[in-house]
Amino acid sequence: MDLSEHSALTNFEIEYVKQITNSGELYYDYDPLISKARNHAYFECRKYDNELRNGRKKIEIMKALFAHLGHHAEINLGFTCEFGFNLTVGSHFSAGRDFKVIDCNKVEIGDNVSIGAQVGIYTSNHAENPELRAAHSCSEQPILITDNVIIEDNVIVTPGVEIGEGAIIRAGSVVTHNILANTVANGNPCESLVL
């Protein structure tokens, strides 16, 4: 990663990257525009972090990076994302320290969502074929986290998952499949209990 090159992508470049990464098909992960998107996102996340460390809340940095960020958003220190332009977040959102989002495909987070510390949301799948994997091929699946969800500390959300409205994901869980609305879910793999 060369952070001396961290300029924002044009709208045309963003759409080009989305066509590659949001297709669900295998693609070459080191395309120059994909690398440019990563560099820009990483730089903006570090800029936001530095502002927070200096006592300044500069949420407009994240608003400019994300596809959408609603009002009353709180994002703590250590946040990172892959692109930002695939990330949509609703209003009344909070995220604890070291929240990481690999948004190489769409990640949609609804309103009134609370995310704990050290949570990872990952859209990425590496190629299963070793030769393709060695050639840096991967594919992505979108993730949907609906309204009024709580995700506690140290949770991992894997590609292609939907978390239903009002669900609570207990700390340390690994979410590998869809979680029903209005359930408490726990474990590895994470399983639901009806509220």
Q: Is 28 helix (H, G, I), strand (E, B) or coil?
A: strand
Token pair of 89 as six digits: 């977040």
Provide the terminal-to-terminal Cα distance of the chain, rounded to the nearest Å: 45
| The residue to which tokens 């924002």 are assigned | 8
Catalytic residue numbers, as ranges:
126
Determine the Cα–Cα distance for residues 149 and 192; give it in Å rounded to an integer.
Answer: 13
Neighbours of 56 (CB within 10 A): 9
39 in the Ramachandran plot: left (φ > 0), alpha (ψ -120 to 50) or beta? alpha
Please report the beta strands in 54-189, taking only residues with DSSP state E, as ranges in sequence order.
68-69, 73-75, 80-81, 87-89, 93-95, 100-102, 107-109, 114-115, 120-122, 124-126, 137-140, 143-145, 150-151, 156-157, 162-163, 168-169, 174-175, 183-186
Q: Answer yes or no: are the C-beta atoms of 142 and 125 closer than 8 Å.
A: no
